[in-house]
């Protein structure tokens, strides 16, 4: 093998792995993810809308994307519990608030221990996925909240009516 061939072989050996560096590889890993479900008040999913997930107190988002057809966002929070979720549609619907990922999802190492039913650990079974629903400020059923609103409204108007009736003329 002459010198030129040796150099060419060396070049090919060095260059080829570098060329492969542009490829996008993938890996599938079964792990613990948090799933956030977003929906309109009438239960319709907040589907295919932009969102960003940023660790609380930081500026750079950890995850940016679009909710799926069911209005869901799946992400791996790792050890971080406090996140800021921004999700919006162009017509002004959406959320921009801090969320707290439930504690069981913090420790990915806990999952295999839970999966192993023979474990002697006294800890309760851990869910692999805990849905975190972004609820309105009041968690009561819609009919109850609507009724509370009506009661407050009629109550205030009623009080004003009583005030008018008893005011000195």
Instruction: Give contact residues for another protein (rule: CB under 8 A).
Output: 40-42, 44, 47-48, 50, 59, 86, 88-97, 135-138, 142, 145-146, 148-150, 152-154, 156-158, 160-161, 164-165, 167
Nearer to another protein, 81 or 86 (CB): 86
Rounded to 5°, the CA angle 38-64-87 comes to 35
Nearer to another protein, 17 or 92 (CB): 92
In the complex, minimum distance from the CB of residue 147 to another protein, in angstroms, rounded to a whole number? 10
In the complex, minimum distance from the CB of residue 103 to another protein, in angstroms, rounded to a whole number? 25
Strands across the sheet with 94-100, in order? 63-66, 50-55, 82-88, 94-100
Token code pair at residue 160 = 């004003």
In the complex, minimum distance from the CB of residue 95 to another protein, in angstroms, rounded to a whole number? 7
Widest distance between CA atoms in the chain: 117
In the complex, minimum distance from the CB of residue 14 to another protein, in angstroms, rounded to a whole number? 36
Nearer to another protein, 125 or 158 (CB): 158
Nearer to another protein, 47 or 110 (CB): 47
């Amino acid at each position: 093998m002459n010198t030129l061939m040796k150099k060419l072989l060396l070049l090919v050996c060095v260059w080829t792995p570098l060329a492969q560096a542009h490829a996008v590889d993938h890996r599938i890993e079964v792990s613990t993810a948090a799933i956030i479900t977003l929906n309109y008040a009438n239960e319709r999913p907040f589907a295919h809308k932009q969102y960003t997930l940023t660790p609380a107190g930081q500026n750079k988002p950890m995850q940016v994307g679009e909710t799926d057809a069911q209005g869901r966002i799946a992400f791996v929070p790792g050890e971080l519990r406090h996140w800021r979720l921004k999700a919006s549609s162009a017509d002004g619907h959406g959320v921009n608030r801090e969320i707290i990922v439930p504690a069981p999802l913090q420790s990915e190492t806990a999952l295999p221990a839970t999966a192993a039913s023979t474990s002697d650990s006294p800890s309760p079974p851990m869910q692999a996925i805990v849905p975190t629903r972004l609820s309105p400020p009041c968690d009561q059923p819609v009919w109850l909240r609507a009724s509370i609103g009506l009661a407050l409204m009629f109550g205030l108007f009623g009080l004003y009516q009583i005030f008018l009736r008893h005011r000195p003329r």
